[in-house]
A and B are shown apart, each in its own frame.
Chain A
Amino acid sequence: MLKYSVKRILGMIPLLFVISLIAFMFVHLIPGDPARLIAGTDATIEEIENIREKYGLNQPLYQQYFDYMANLFQGDLGQSIVTGRPVLDMLVERFGPTLSLTLASMAWALIFGLLIGVISAVKRNKWPDHLSMFLAVSGVSIPSFWLGLMMIQLFSVQLGWFPTGGIGGFETYILPSFTLGAGVAAIIARFTRSSLMDVLKEDYIRTGRSKGLTEFKVINRHAVRNALIPVVTMSGLQFGFLLSGSIITETIFSWPGLGRLLINSITARDYPVIQSEILLFSLEFLLINLLVDLLYGFLNPKIRYEEGS
């Protein structure tokens, strides 16, 4: 497993290299002159030129890419054009809040998603199933900006239970993580339901039942574990998405995470920050995929990571 992991990690390097090139090209192909946007609405042409020169934006594109890569190999992600700060510092600062919000949201999502999914698979076509699936469809369809604002209205303004936004203590996590987790919970619930329903048709479940195990034991011990593989894949993917920071949820709840940084830097065409965020998100996805693959083996020991398997 270790050998497999090392191989996978080494394999990421050329991939990241390609991603960096694509990210660089795309970011520079978006129309818009960062110098003009950053110089402000009533800047003089000299001020705009100054910014171009300071950040090497007047260099030919290949030169800019070359400089960018040369710095990247030394662990230097460059400087933000907007704030002049090292991009690495900014990413580190924003990563913590996004990670903690992601973990909290994923925990919500998994608890609710699995419970709802299992209940509706077991009580198939009875009212708990219909109720659960109604909740799941709502969770997927309700846009997060609406849900977020409604939660603020209800729980902050009317009831005064939680703050409207910002990062701080326990209470600041409830509303944003619920808003962010609701959609994911719905997806997980639907996956769990369909996967579990497939498993429940299997022979070994019938065997379990016929040897007199209680229904709870059958589900709890035998069925869920086998139904989890597609759910884990899906959750891993969702985890990756959340880890890239949610632009909408972070904006509504004034959360100082990566999503807000991304939208701000795109609006300002802050090239170094956008490029580095894309690179970071790709890296996150690659690592999560690896983690998910390793989890398969844990869930089903028959899955091995040797070559040719």
Chain B
Amino acid sequence: MKLSRLLTVLSLVLVLVVAGCSSGGDTEEDTSSSKNNDKKTPPSSEEGLTIAVESNFTSLDPHDTNDNQSYSAQSAIYEGLLGFDKDLNIVPVLAKEYSANEDSTEFTFTLKEGITFHDGAPFNAEAVKANLDRLSDPESQLRRASLFELVEKTEVLSEYEVKVTLKEPFGAMPNNFAHPAAGMISPKALEQSNQDLARNPAGTGPFKFVEWKSGDHLTVEKNEEYREEGLPKVDKIEFKPVPESGSRVAMLQTGEADFAFPVAPNQVETLKEEEGVSIETKPSLVVKYFSMNTMKEPFTDPKVRKAMNYAIDKEAYIKVVYDGYATQTKSVIAPNTQHYEEQEVYEYDPEKAKELLAEAGYPDGFETTIWGGTSSLKQKMMSFYKQQLSQVGVTLNVVPMEGGTLGDKIWGVDNPEDAELELYNGGWSPSTADADWGMRPLFSSNSFPPDAYNTAYYKNENVDELLQKGLSTADDKERGEYYAEAQKIIWDESPWVPLAVPDILYGKQDYVEGLTMLSSGVMDLKQAEIVSE
């Protein structure tokens, strides 16, 4: 073939491929290019909002979901009986009101009337029962089945009244009802197979599902029949998974995205200079810590564990690791978690740390190993500990491991005595925002790996008892007292070095209002609007 002819053919191929492929995405093309040209002009409410998120959505079946990002999209479509407000207080949503019996084994809900699902099915007690029966069916194998495994039965008392009976007392049950996984699905939609339901959702929320092209976009549109007057305020929301954080920031800069979450701390400066874009922060529910295996020398000695706490400068940690976008944690749960109780912090004091180590019989320090993930952020954390601990004579070996390997090494161990783990660089976020789920999986002696996440192998009978008591009553005040006591004991015994509560960082165009992130990391979309001057 002649070169000239070959090149002509290739150019034709290029034109054809690009032209041929572009016919597929024509609807999207219009909005993105127009947005691109008139930079930062607010879209009309008909055009709607474009939200750039980090990863792909996994499912639109809330009962079978366990990632916050999917919950965010679901929160547009679904609502629960209860929900969380902006400060994570529990508020009734589809329920008008609810009550619990004294030992928190029976919960009665009175439902709001006159609500229909997106597919036309009426919302009533039967619909609630269908949902809760599905969630509590041990055979269902749903991802969030554990939230409702204690439900013994759900009874329809009248058309708008339901009673849920638990097998044993569980004081934090309202949090589980408010959890995004407890969204109410239309009974008609529930007739589909699980696989179909994951992509054909129907709830009662402010937005209706339109389409979902995996890896590219997920679109919802205004639910015209939404029960709250004047809501929602935009006609359409399009979510776009944009895994690369630099690309998400670029989309805010070009105006292709109206809202982006998350924003990496090191990109905040870039965005601050950008006109018309603002960065907002909110403390998360995540507690960053490293745990010490309390069954292994030298961490069997509380003095050593306290010394570790004094040896780490938490303020420096926040600057080094989070560019300042975090707050020092003053308990083993985050301030926005229910029943949080502030403790007296271990101020940075290397001298005191050395004294304590000497008292414990380690005047020259010791050598130990920390395990953690491989992300650059996690490696930065661990290198920071290494530097800090070296100041008090402790030699730290940093062993980053890829997630799967790390999981095997920690949760593949059946006997606590066999655990090789010494220190573990971890983080925890209780998705129900309740103290129970913030503490029981981490500090109860029933929570040793592989069952749960007590990587400190911490065992204290008082704590065990208090955590159990907290579950056995629905009385908030009483629960508060038990959890306050438990937090104090744990803080005193220091199975962890608690470090910081990182901020949730998100960026938005100035014309976007009402759209925020909850501390739990789930988006709150209901009030979103485009404000044009």
Judge whether B22 and A170 touch: CB under 8 Å.
yes
A33 to B406, CA, bound (A): 10
Judge whether B29 and A168 touch: CB under 8 Å.
yes
Q: Across the two chains, which residue of chain A brings its CB closest to B215? A: A256
Q: How far is the CB of B447 from chain A (nearest CB, A)?
A: 10
A221 to B433, CA, bound (A): 74
Question: Which residues on the B side are within 8 Å of A104 (C-beta)?
Answer: 14, 17-18, 21
Does A75 reach chain B (CB closer than 8 Å)?
Answer: no
A170 to B64, CA, bound (A): 37
Question: Which residues on the B side are within 8 Å of A45 (C-beta)?
Answer: 450-452
A86 to B412, CA, bound (A): 29
Contact A164 to B251, CB < 8 A, known contacts A42-B430, A84-B64, A171-B33? yes
Judge whether B141 and A50 touch: CB under 8 Å.
yes
Question: Which residues on the B side are within 8 Å of A114 (C-beta)?
Answer: 3, 6-7
Judge whether B452 and A44 touch: CB under 8 Å.
yes
Judge whether B408 and A32 touch: CB under 8 Å.
yes
A40 to B59, CA, bound (A): 14
Question: Which residues on the A side are within 8 Å of B59 (C-beta)?
Answer: 83-84
Contact A220 to B4, CB < 8 A, known contacts A108-B14, A256-B213? yes
A108 to B11, CA, bound (A): 8
Judge whether A164 and B145 touch: CB under 8 Å.
no
Q: How far is the CB of A108 from chain B (nearest CB, A)?
A: 7
Judge whether B66 and A166 touch: CB under 8 Å.
no
Question: Which residues on the A side are within 8 Å of B430 (C-beta)?
Answer: 42
Question: Which residues on the A side are within 8 Å of B450 (C-beta)?
Answer: 45
Contacts of B1-36 to chain A: CB distance below 8 A: 1-4, 6-7, 10-11, 13-14, 17-22, 24-26, 28-29, 32-33, 36
Does B269 reach chain A (CB closer than 8 Å)?
Answer: no
Question: Which residues on the A side are within 8 Å of B429 (C-beta)?
Answer: 41-42
Contact A165 to B242, CB < 8 A, known contacts A32-B408, A42-B431? yes
Contacts of B411-464 to chain A: CB distance below 8 A: 411-412, 428-431, 437, 441, 450-453
Judge whether B215 and A54 touch: CB under 8 Å.
no
A251 to B407, CA, bound (A): 26
Question: Which residues on the A side are within 8 Å of B412 (C-beta)?
Answer: 33
Q: Across the two chains, which residue of chain A brings its CB closest to B428? A: A42
Judge whether A167 and B141 touch: CB under 8 Å.
no
Q: When each residue 58-91 of chain A gets 1 if its CB lies under 8 Å from chain B and 0 otherwise, what string results?
A: 0000000000000000000001001111100010
Judge whether A163 and B32 touch: CB under 8 Å.
yes
Interface residue count on the A side (C-beta < 8 Å) = 78
Question: Which residues on the A side are within 8 Å of B244 (C-beta)?
Answer: 149, 251-252, 254
Binds B, one of A1-9, A16-24, A202-210, A260-268: A260-268
Binds B, one of A130-138, A152-160, A281-289, A301-309: A152-160
Does A37 reach chain B (CB closer than 8 Å)?
Answer: yes
Does A103 reach chain B (CB closer than 8 Å)?
Answer: yes
Judge whether B7 and A254 touch: CB under 8 Å.
no
Judge whether B451 and A111 touch: CB under 8 Å.
no
Contacts of B123-146 to chain A: CB distance below 8 A: 141-146
Question: Which residues on the B side are within 8 Å of A264 (C-beta)?
Answer: 55-56
Does A180 reach chain B (CB closer than 8 Å)?
Answer: no
Q: Which of A32, A172, A255 contacts B403 (CB 8 A)?
A: A32
Judge whether B17 and A36 touch: CB under 8 Å.
no
Does B101 reach chain A (CB closer than 8 Å)?
Answer: no
Does A10 reach chain B (CB closer than 8 Å)?
Answer: no
Does A100 reach chain B (CB closer than 8 Å)?
Answer: yes
Q: Which of A51, A93, A169 contacts B25 (CB 8 A)?
A: A169
Contacts of B36-71 to chain A: CB distance below 8 A: 36-37, 39, 55-56, 58-59, 64, 66-67
Judge whether A160 and B39 touch: CB under 8 Å.
yes
Question: Which residues on the B side are within 8 Å of A124 (C-beta)?
Answer: none
Judge whether A164 and B250 touch: CB under 8 Å.
yes
Judge whether B452 and A118 touch: CB under 8 Å.
no
Contacts of B142-164 to chain A: CB distance below 8 A: 142-146, 149
A36 to B449, CA, bound (A): 12
Q: Which of B18, B29, B195, B411 contacts A85 (CB 8 A)?
A: B195
Judge whether A253 and B10 touch: CB under 8 Å.
no
Judge whether A254 and B13 touch: CB under 8 Å.
no
A66 to B257, CA, bound (A): 47
Q: How far is the CB of B521 from chain A (nearest CB, A)?
A: 11
Q: Which of B32, B33, B195, B437 contacts A42 (CB 8 A)?
A: B437
Q: When each residue 248-266 of chain B gets 1 if its CB lies under 8 Å from chain A and 0 otherwise, what string results?
A: 0011011010000000000
Contact A163 to B33, CB < 8 A, known contacts A83-B59, A111-B14, A252-B244? yes
A37 to B144, CA, bound (A): 14
14 A/B residue pairs, CB under 8 Å, sorted by A:
A31-B404, A32-B405, A36-B411, A43-B143, A83-B198, A96-B21, A114-B6, A156-B36, A157-B253, A164-B251, A166-B240, A168-B29, A170-B22, A172-B32
